[in-house]
Structure 1
């Protein structure tokens, strides 16, 4: 059975989920309209660092997702 579990969140900044032994980072962005969730599945290295030191390990990734959102999977809020 697939269950998506929220590991942590900071509303309107980031959400971290675990599903099928993968950890996914979701960053909401209001622009371009109508707004999107920018999605990234952590690499093995990122996952290992996240499990060791927490969200601090993903700060650069979150910034990149905000700056270069077109390089990532995007789910529209509509």
Structure 2
């Protein structure tokens, strides 16, 4: 069995990849109950971590796009 890193030491992309792998294994339906429960627990941990990373990124974008208490977003024009 491979050693799993703590979720908070992974990047968002690594976390999502591991989560996808766990879901794939569980969808096959041939895991013993104990392994399925471990995978489910790990999946919850990774999902929470990823959700927090997305929330943090959203807050950073919000801060970066706010100037003097007002939103200052420009319309994106792909032709420029």
TM over 0.5, shorter chain: no
Q: Greater strand share, 1 or 2?
A: 1
Could you state the TM-score of these two structures normalised by the residue count of structure 2?
Answer: 0.25
Q: Greater helix share, 1 or 2?
A: 2
Larger Rg: 2
Could you state the TM-score of these two structures normalised by the residue count of structure 1?
Answer: 0.26
